[in-house]
Amino acid sequence: MITIFICKYTAFSTKKEKQLINSLKISAHFYSVCAFGDDIFVHCKKKDYLCKNKLKKTMINRVLLRNKVIQILYSYYKNNAESLDFEEAKDELAISIEKTYELYHYLLQTIVNVTSYATNKLERSNKRSSDLQLMTKLSNNKFALQLAQNKDLLKFIEEHDLDWPTEESEITKTLYKEIAQVPEVNTYCEKGETTYEEDREIWRFIVKKTFSGCELLGKELEDLCIYWNDDAEVILSFVLKTIRKFEEEKQDEQELIPQFRDKEDEEFAYTLLKNSIYNEYEYREMIKKHTHNWDSDRIAFMDTIIMQAAIAEICSFPSIPVNVTMNEFIEIAKNYSTPKSGTFINGILDTIVKELKAENKLTKATYVNSYKK
Instruction: List, for residues 22-41, the tens digit of each pLDDT value.
Output: 444 434 333 344 444 444 44
**How much is the pLDDT for 37?**
41
**Rounded to an integer, what distance in angstroms lies between the CA atom of residue 175 and that of residue 208?**
12
Strand partners, 40: 35, 51
139 vs 55, higher pLDDT = 139
- CA neighbor of 59 nearest in space, from 258, 267, 244: 258
- CA neighbor of 257 nearest in space, from 146, 100, 149, 116: 100
9 vs 169, higher pLDDT = 169
Q: Which domains does the chain have, with CATH numbers?
A: 1-55 (no CATH), 86-253 (no CATH), 279-358 (1.10.940.10)
pLDDT band (50, 70, 90) for residue 168: confident
**Rounded to an integer, what distance in angstroms lies between the CA atom of residue 149 and that of residue 147?**
5
Phi, psi of 52, rounded to the nearest 5 degrees: -70, 135
Angle subtended at Cα 114 by Cα 120 and Cα 121, rounded to the nearest 5 degrees: 20
DSSP code string of 53-117: --S---SS-HHHHHHHHHHHHHHHHHH-SS---HHHHHHHHHHHHHHHHHHHHHHHHHHHHHHHH
Question: Taking a C-beta distance cutoff of 8 angstroms, is the pair 109, 220 a contact?
Answer: no
**How much is the pLDDT for 149?**
97
**Rounded to an integer, what distance in angstroms lies between the CA atom of residue 128 and that of residue 50?**
58
Question: Taking a C-beta distance cutoff of 8 angstroms, is the pair 340, 295 a contact?
Answer: no
**Rounded to an integer, what distance in angstroms lies between the CA atom of residue 206 and that of residue 218?**
16
| 285-291-295-298 Cα dihedral, nearest 10 degrees | -90
Q: How confident is the model over 56-66, as a mean pLDDT?
A: 77
pLDDT of 349 strictly over 60: yes
Dihedral sign computed on CA atoms, order 291, 297, 298, 303: positive
Q: How confident is the model over 224-231, as a mean pLDDT?
A: 82
**How much is the pLDDT for 230?**
78
Instruction: List, for residues 249-305, the tens digit of each pLDDT value.
Output: 999 999 999 888 778 888 999 999 999 999 999 999 999 998 877 766 678 889 999
pLDDT of 21 strictly over 70: no
The whole-angstrom distance between residue 318's C-alpha and the CA centroid of its chain comes to: 23
How many CB atoms neighbour CB 67 within 10 A? 21
SS3 category, 300: coil
Instruction: List, for residues 171-217, the tens digit of each pLDDT value.
Output: 999 999 999 999 999 999 998 899 999 999 999 999 999 988 888 88
- Region for residue 251 given its phi and psi (left: phi exceeds 0; alpha: psi -120 to 50; beta: otherwise): left
**Rounded to an integer, what distance in angstroms lies between the CA atom of residue 135 and that of residue 131?**
6
Instruction: List, for residues 70-129, the tens digit of each pLDDT value.
Output: 999 998 888 765 666 788 889 999 999 999 999 999 999 999 999 999 999 999 887 777
